[in-house]
Amino acid sequence: MEIYKTRLDELSACLAGMPEVQSATPYGSYVTGQVDEFSDIDLAIDVSGFDNGQFLLTLPMRLAEHYPILFTDFAPSLAPEKYVLTAAIYPDKPFLLLDISVTATPHCSTVTKEMLSGKNNLFAHTLKLFSANMKHYLRGQDCGSDIRKMYGRLALPDTDSLPEMLRHTHRWLLRNASADLRENIDRFTPYLTKIQ
């Protein structure tokens, strides 16, 4: 997909232009040649010589200098062994999230799970999980436990149906979205009509 490569190249150049960044290297579906309409953009940035945990904390603000940020969400469950930020910067492509892994040699473990959890909010975290769960479901992957875990946090109507959980979560996101995010979330609607 040419649009994917264009955006990946642009993002790589942007991140590599930050003074602390030694390199910006793609990983994930682009490297394995499995890019599809649901793919994320996965980039590992090396900030060796700097504290990669502290750099991670500044990344949302620094990205906002170059892109309109719809939302960001840290991955506390991976910390402090790995530092990852998810950012949504493409309102026209709800599945096209940017996952940035911030590495350094030596790795710094100064930022804890608790610190990152405190910076996240339920809405952005749910939207990230919803996007991931939708794409996994549409690809036919086994994601039932992840959908149930996401759904269980929202106090929504009881159901055993995974498609219904996804539909209820989508409605919850629309109800709780700010005006600038509502259109992005509504772009999932055609995909929800395809799930059984």
Beta carbons of 14 and 66 less than 8 angstroms apart: yes
State residue 1's pLDDT score.
66
Instruction: Tell me the per-residue pLDDT of 31-90, one tens digit each, with 9 for 90 and over.
Output: 888 889 899 999 999 999 999 999 999 999 999 999 999 999 999 999 999 999 999 999
Positive or negative: CA dihedral 166, 170, 171, 176: positive
pTM above 0.85, yes or no: yes
Model pLDDT, residue 184 = 93
Asked whether residue 195 carries a pLDDT value surpassing 70, the answer given is yes
Three-state DSSP state, 164: helix
The pLDDT tens digits for 170-186 are 999 999 999 989 999 99
Measure the CA–CA gap between 168 and 174, rounded to whole angstroms.
10
The Cα–Cα gap between 21 and 23 comes to 6
Query: Cα separation of 110 and 92, whole Å?
Result: 36
- The two three-digit tokens of residue 104, written as one number: 């350094």
Which pLDDT tens digit goes with each residue over 125-167? 999 999 999 999 999 999 999 999 999 999 999 999 999 999 9
Distance separating alpha carbons of residues 187 and 181, to the nearest angstrom: 10
Largest CA distance in the chain: 50
